Amino acid sequence: MRRPRSRWAARCWPLFLAALLLTGAGLTGEALAVPRGAAGAATAKAPPTPLLWKVSGRDGATLYLLGSFHLLRPDDYPLAPEVDAAFAHATRVLFELPAEQVQSPALAAQMLQAATRTDGRSLRDDLTPARWAALQTYAAQHGLALDALSGYDPWFVALTVSLSEMAAQGLDPSLGLDQHFMRAAQQANKPTGGLETATEQIALLDGMSADEQQQMLAEALDDARDGNQQTRALHDAWRRGDATRLWSEMGLDMKREYPALYRNINVERNDRWLPKLEQRLQAGQGTTLVIVGSLHLLGPDGVVEKLRARGYQVDRICETCK
């Protein structure tokens, strides 16, 4: 029996929260014995419809808010002209994490230290016999080094399974929108910054309850078994710029079914970001491009509505949406 769609939300948010961390830490690909899918040559497609908003501040100060998908394919590029124009106009680019932390070799040790078990138990001790058997089967079928992962927490193993499946679809963290613009900013000598630190993001993952971690692993295995339908649907919705579907099927379900997790991951983080964003809207700050996970921009608790509530003019920038 398929699990209710709402449960997917409890897994996808931590997954995309960790995509940058895992890439920066060098923990994808061979480092975890995760088979990398062949992305193939890029094919001609219309550019993705952007989740892009313009926020008008004081005396010409401007924020562009761009909703990211943290893992993309080669054929998700080139981006829409509106996105390239926002980057060209920006004098600074902000991400969830500072680029220097994502690219730091120290991130790998930090991530592994947080995920390593210190309670004297193994992964198998945390799982039901049926769930352990399902993980064994998956590992055998996909060449996953289960022995190497048995000393880690379930959330880390769940991320490994999920990223393995996304890689098989050609979705690659190194091609994600965040990574793309980190490289572009470096090439253009644009200053960059982060809204939070890697330590804060790792703490969110490691702070998940035992039940949330086990469910996250179960959902990762279920989605793999079902052909990754939810992952495909999420990526397709992002490509279409379908803010309504992303919010209704992901954010709203999570808010209703997992209010504590929703509050920790979305509400409290967004609230912590607001003072930093408002600082960039003061006179003399120029134009800033902000690139964060798409769901942080959506819904009543999203950054877009929070800035509107504070009196700023916020307009979606999307030629194909008109």
**φ/ψ (deg, to 5) at 286:** 70, -145
Domain ranges of the chain: 6-37+61-321
Alpha helices in the chain (DSSP H): 6-24, 81-89, 99-102, 106-115, 123-126, 129-142, 146-149, 154-168, 177-187, 198-206, 210-225, 229-239, 243-246, 252-257, 259-262, 268-279, 303-309
pTM of the model: 0.88
Highest mean pLDDT among 13-17, 43-47, 177-181, 205-209: 177-181
Distance of CA 299 to the CA centre of its chain: 17
Which tens digits make up the pLDDT trace of 214-249? 888 888 888 788 777 777 888 999 999 999 999 987
- Output 146 or 52, whichever has higher pLDDT: 52
Residue pair 10/254 in contact by the 8 Å Cβ criterion: yes
pLDDT of residue 38: 44
Which tens digits make up the pLDDT trace of 101-110? 888 878 878 8
- Residue 194, pLDDT above cutoff 90: yes
